[in-house]
Structure 1
Amino acid sequence: MAEQFLSQEEVKARIESLRGVLPAKLVNELLNRLSSLRVSGRQLERVMKAVVAEYYKSVVDPGEAIGIVTAQSVGEPSTQMILRTFHYAGLREFSMALGLPRLIEIIDARRKPQVPRMTIYLKPEYAHNEEKAHEVAKRIQTITIENVAKSIDIDYFNSTIVVTLDEDALNYRGLTINDVKKALDRIKGKTGKVTVEGNTISVTVEVQEISALKRIRDKILQTKVAGIRGIKKALVVKESDEYVIYTEGTNLEAVLLLDEVDPTRTISHDIHEVAEVLGIEAARSMIIRELKEVLDAQGLDVDVRHLMMVADVMTWDGKVRQIGRHGVAGQKVSPLARAAFEVTVKNLIEAAYKGESERFRGVVESIISGRYVPIGTGYVELMLEHP
């Protein structure tokens, strides 16, 4: 006799019975996968049992030393990483830190990354049009007077800096000589004077010292004419069926205000900036994502839950903290645990001076003192009730 196939309502009802056993995400995934398939009662039962069995295999046992397992799981593969830098084809100076340098940046929660960068996604009407994507990239990239000038000379006799503009460079970036003049007007000072003659702009200042004139020239070179402050370069790259903008330098807040940008996918790889603009939960997600990208690029397979543990420890109190003596390790309650990490004598002297007490609740301090470690079987305490 042929097996009877279950109706979609019956399949859904049986899977819904797992709500108290499996996480909601797994139950919903089962519903999505199986509700549209023709399955018998026996087949569905086998699938449900297999999923529950696999789930229980992945659950952490009570008393598991998850902190130590996480440290080993991330630390051991990182010893196999290589020191290398990735360069975009055709742009040698447009580089980014990968491998071990990037991993150290993330774990140390560096305030300024070696190469701050952003990945900017565009809305559909711009993402699928190369010309429009390049126009957005030009608007984003910071344009200084140095980028649009043929030469900048100093007339020491008249205390004047003479800027000769490159008209082709101005046209390419959609700028005019008047745009450059407005930028110079902002920095000329109260006594300065800006005059325009053809494609030459002269800035006259009331200083006589050669060193002061050179400083003003350098300031003029770096004066912003257009673009978003902080973004040095912008490169348009085609990925699958859309154009994406990669930048060197970051300014997440300003970029998200642009109408052409898709704010739901655009990211900054500067974790502190993400925390300031989008909040600590976004920074936590960014740490997980960045760690996984670094490890995947090196072909190292680390369970994402270990990376989630690292991110949780770095962000649980609402701030991005490094894992080190100035962050997570240095803020442990246990004096012995702090002393075991780094600067042993200093930590012990400070603890004695402040009159701190040791509760022996952690792994490190228990090992130092020869006690049972509070993990595994040592996590269980038995009580005997006398008659």
Structure 2
Amino acid sequence: MEGVGMSVREKIESKARGVLSQNLIDELASKLEKRNVTDEELEKIVELTVQTYLNSLVEPGEPIGTVTAQSIGEPGTQMTLRTFHYAGVRELNVTLGLPRLIEIVDARKVPSTPMMEVYLDEEHKYDREKAKEVARRIEFTKIENVANVVEADLFSNSIRVELDPAMLEDKGLTVEEVYEVIKKSNVGKAEITGENTIAIYLKESSDLSYISKKREKVLNLKIKGIAGIKRAIIQSRRGEDGREEYVIVTDGSNLEQVLKVKGVDPTRTRTNSVYETMMVLGIEAARKVIINEIMNVLREQGLDVDVRHVYLVADIMTQTGVVRQIGRHGVSGEKESFLARAAFEMTTKHLFEASTQGKTDELKGVTENVIVGQVIPVGTGMIELYFTPHIEKDKRQILNEKESGNGEM
């Protein structure tokens, strides 16, 4: 008997092989194996899955680019122009809505509000103090971040640094550590003159302009942390296993350096910078960031757009191996058809270049065929139908012979 002794996976494969992809078969099998379904129920489920899959396929000749542009562009007109507070962190702003969507499709190297979600390894993610240690290693800390006063004294030719004890404790620093940083900077001779005070005596007599420059240098001296990470905020979230874990959200981004920090889980840590992701993790990871960021913007605005439209945008932006913007300096400006490029922007320039170089347009796209008044290669316009009169004549001759033969009988 068919199906006797077969596993759920084998039964699904026997009914759906050649139609469903292996990923869909695996996902369906993993869910049904956990449930006690009869053979009849299994057959109905597989039939429904196959039918749903077939109904979701794009019809041959459908202009998917136009549909995608409409499906994202039309809801995009309803987007707001505001900057929002990051979920759960009132003091951290993040750009969403239309400005963020424009940033993504323009392939800007630096987002207006770069940020990272830093996930921690098993040792650090369940302990807040250990998570705080990682956050301190990540957050870029300068002298000005832990000092109450940094003032220049022209009479004694020195700079006085008065440290904030509360900030030192928050950053996990001591006066001695700050002193060592100043000492190594060679700004001048440093001395601890009080409980939280450090004096820096300059090596030579100087005017106000010189001593002011030295003061600025002291303010910007790096104590620890990663460049580009202005703040590191710890959040508590529910993980995939249902347990609460600590995640670090940063104001600023430096993916390459953050991934090297002890305690960071490099497999889950991510940034909202598409360009940075491409440079560190490659083009496939950048494509995934484009998809996630666009979908996050749309969902936050309450817009329901099929993810396949976003897939298409991400594929077009990354198909050459580097992230390209959708504009005249990217996708639109690199079309093979000079008529299509001319129809988009800078008409005279493209037509002049094409004419002086003797270029030929193959008229394969929609825009160029509209310009010359031909049928566009979309839908039924994609079908090339040929009529051969001599074959049709032979068929009529055969039919006539059959009819005359039937009449003689």
Q: TM-score by structure 1 length?
A: 0.91
The equivalences for 1:1-387 within 5 A come to: 9=6, 11-17=8-14, 18-88=16-86, 93-157=91-155, 159-188=157-186, 192-198=188-194, 199-204=197-202, 206=204, 208-240=206-238, 241-385=244-388, 387=390
Contact 1:117–1:248 under 8 Å retained in 2: yes
Structure 1 residue 80: deviation in Å? 0.8
Distance in 1, matches of 2:336 and 2:214, equals 53
Contact 1:160–1:205 under 8 Å retained in 2: no
Distance in 2, matches of 1:188 and 1:348, equals 61
**Letter aligned with residue 31 of structure 1:** A
Distance in 2, matches of 1:376 and 1:90, equals 48
**Letter aligned with residue 13 of structure 2:** E
Cα 1:200–1:301 change in 2 (3 A) is same
User: What RMSD over aligned residues (CA atoms) do the two structures have, in Å?
Assistant: 2.4
Larger mean CA deviation between 66-75 and 354-363 belongs to 354-363
Distance in 2, matches of 1:303 and 1:209, equals 66
Structure 1 residue 196: deviation in Å? 3.8
Cα 1:381–1:210 change in 2 (3 A) is farther
Cα 1:122–1:154 change in 2 (3 A) is same
Distance in 1, matches of 2:126 and 2:318, equals 37
**Letter aligned with residue 242 of structure 1:** E
- 1:237-268 deviations in Å (ceiling 9; x for gaps): 11121111110011111111123111111101
- 1:101-120 deviations in Å (ceiling 9; x for gaps): 11111111111110110001
**Letter aligned with residue 214 of structure 1:** S
Structure 1 residue 206: deviation in Å? 4.8
Cα 1:41–1:195 change in 2 (3 A) is closer
Cα 1:71–1:59 change in 2 (3 A) is same
Distance in 2, matches of 1:88 and 1:361, equals 45
**Letter aligned with residue 12 of structure 1:** R
Partner-residue secondary structure (3-state), 1:237? strand
**Letter aligned with residue 303 of structure 1:** D
Contact 2:141–2:224 under 8 Å retained in 1: yes
Structure 1 residue 385: deviation in Å? 4.2
- 1:97-142 deviations in Å (ceiling 9; x for gaps): 0111111111111111101100011123322222222222122111
Larger mean CA deviation between 303-312 and 16-25 belongs to 16-25
Distance in 2, matches of 1:22 and 1:207, equals 81
Structure 1 residue 187: deviation in Å? 4.0
**Letter aligned with residue 232 of structure 1:** K
Structure 1 residue 93: deviation in Å? 4.5
Structure 1 residue 154: deviation in Å? 1.5
Q: How many residues align?
A: 382
Cα 1:211–1:347 change in 2 (3 A) is farther
Distance in 2, matches of 1:364 and 1:207, equals 72
Structure 1 residue 207: deviation in Å? 7.5
- 1:205-244 deviations in Å (ceiling 9; x for gaps): 5574533433332232122101111100111111121111
Larger mean CA deviation between 322-331 and 86-95 belongs to 86-95
Cα 1:43–1:382 change in 2 (3 A) is same
Structure 1 residue 11: deviation in Å? 3.6
Distance in 2, matches of 1:98 and 1:124, equals 32
Distance in 1, matches of 2:183 and 2:4, equals 76
Structure 1 residue 7: deviation in Å? 6.0
Q: TM-score by structure 2 length?
A: 0.86
Distance in 2, matches of 1:195 and 1:349, equals 71
Distance in 2, matches of 1:8 and 1:306, equals 42
Partner-residue secondary structure (3-state), 1:215? helix
Identity percentage of aligned residues = 48
Distance in 1, matches of 2:271 and 2:86, equals 18
Larger radius of gyration: 2
Partner-residue secondary structure (3-state), 2:20? coil
Contact 1:142–1:229 under 8 Å retained in 2: yes
Distance in 1, matches of 2:74 and 2:32, equals 39
Cα 1:177–1:350 change in 2 (3 A) is farther
Contact 1:236–1:245 under 8 Å retained in 2: yes
Distance in 2, matches of 1:109 and 1:212, equals 42
**Letter aligned with residue 228 of structure 1:** I
